Amino acid sequence: MKRELDPHQSHNLQPLPDSSVTGSLSTEKAKMCWEEEVKQDGEMEELLAVLGYQARALDMAEVAQKLELLEDLMGNAQVITIRGGLEVLQLQEVDEPELKDDEVLIKVEASGLNQADTVQRSGAYPPPKGASHYLGVECSGTILALGKSVSRWKIGDQVCALLSGGGYAEKVTVLAGQVLPIPPGVSVKDAASLPEVACTVWSTVFMMSQLSAGETFLVHGGSSGIGTFAIQIAKYYGARVFVTAGSDEKLAVCKDLGADVCINYKTEDFVKRVKEETGGKGVDVILDHIGASYLKQNLESLNFDGRLFIIGTVGGSVTEVDLRALLSKRLTVQFHK
Ligand SMILES: NC(=O)c1ccc[n+]([C@@H]2O[C@H](COP(=O)([O-])OP(=O)(O)OC[C@H]3O[C@@H](n4cnc5c(N)ncnc54)[C@H](OP(=O)(O)O)[C@@H]3O)[C@@H](O)[C@H]2O)c1
Handedness of CA 60, 195, 305, 236 (dihedral sign): positive
Residue 92: pLDDT band (50, 70, 90) is: confident
Q: Is 50 in the pocket of ligand 1 (CB under 6 A)?
A: no
Instruction: Tell me the CA–centroid distance for residue 224 and ligand 1, in Å.
Output: 6
Question: Which is the closest atom of ligand 1 to the Cα of 315?
Answer: 31
d(CA 312, CA 54): 17
CA angle 244, 238, 184 (to 5 degrees): 95
Q: Is 56 in the pocket of ligand 1 (CB under 6 A)?
A: no
Residue 82: pLDDT band (50, 70, 90) is: low
Residue 128: pLDDT band (50, 70, 90) is: confident
Strand 302-310 to strand 216-219: parallel, antiparallel, or no bridges (unpaired)? unpaired
Mean pLDDT of 124-150: 91
Q: Is 245 in the pocket of ligand 1 (CB under 6 A)?
A: yes
Instruction: Tell me the CA–centroid distance for residue 163 and ligand 1, in Å.
Output: 19
Q: Is 51 in the pocket of ligand 1 (CB under 6 A)?
A: no
CA angle 309, 131, 223 (to 5 degrees): 35
Residue 83: pLDDT band (50, 70, 90) is: low
**Top-level CATH class of 18-193?**
alpha beta
According to DSSP, residue 150 is labeled: -
Q: Is 91 in the pocket of ligand 1 (CB under 6 A)?
A: no
pLDDT at 250: 98
Q: Is 171 in the pocket of ligand 1 (CB under 6 A)?
A: no
Higher pLDDT, 243 or 120: 243
Instruction: Tell me the CA–centroid distance for residue 226 and ligand 1, in Å.
Output: 7
d(CA 123, CA 118): 9
Close Cβ partners of 183 (under 8 Å, ≥ 6 residues apart): 15, 191, 194
Q: Is 336 in the pocket of ligand 1 (CB under 6 A)?
A: yes
d(CA 90, CA 215): 48
pLDDT (tens digit per residue) in 25-73 = 333 333 333 233 333 334 334 433 433 323 333 344 444 444 444 343 3
Q: Is 33 in the pocket of ligand 1 (CB under 6 A)?
A: no
pLDDT at 21: 28
Residue 213: pLDDT band (50, 70, 90) is: very high
Higher pLDDT, 24 or 306: 306
Domain 197-335, CATH number (from 3.40.1400.10, 3.90.1150.10, 1.10.10.10, 3.40.50.720): 3.40.50.720
Mean pLDDT across the chain, nearest whole number?
Answer: 80
Instruction: Tell me the CA–centroid distance for residue 53 and ligand 1, in Å.
Output: 7
Domain boundaries, the chain: 18-193, 197-335
Higher pLDDT, 242 or 85: 242
> pTM higher than 0.85, yes or no?
no
pLDDT (tens digit per residue) in 270-285 = 999 999 999 999 999 9
Mean pLDDT of 80-109: 83
Q: Whose CA is nearest to atom 30 of ligand 1?
A: 314
Higher pLDDT, 133 or 164: 164
According to DSSP, residue 301 is labeled: H
In the predicted structure, residue 20 carries a pLDDT above the cut 80: no
Pocket probe mutation, ligand 1, options 53, 125, 232, max atoms within 8 Å of Cβ: 53
End-to-end CA distance of the chain: 25
d(CA 47, CA 40): 13
pLDDT at 134: 86
pLDDT at 27: 35
Mean pLDDT of 164-176: 94
- Helix 43-52 × helix 60-71 angle, to 10°: 130
Mean pLDDT of 317-330: 96
Question: Which is the closest atom of ligand 1 to the Cα of 314?
Answer: 31
Q: Is 115 in the pocket of ligand 1 (CB under 6 A)?
A: yes
Higher pLDDT, 132 or 190: 190
Among 18-22, 76-80, 126-130, the least confident range: 18-22
Pocket probe mutation, ligand 1, options 289, 293, 334, max atoms within 8 Å of Cβ: 289
Question: Which is the closest atom of ligand 1 to the Cα of 54?
Answer: 43
- Of 89, 130, 136, 94, the closest CA to residue 112 belongs to 136
Q: What percentage of residues in the chain have a pLDDT greater than 70?
A: 75
Mean pLDDT of 95-115: 94
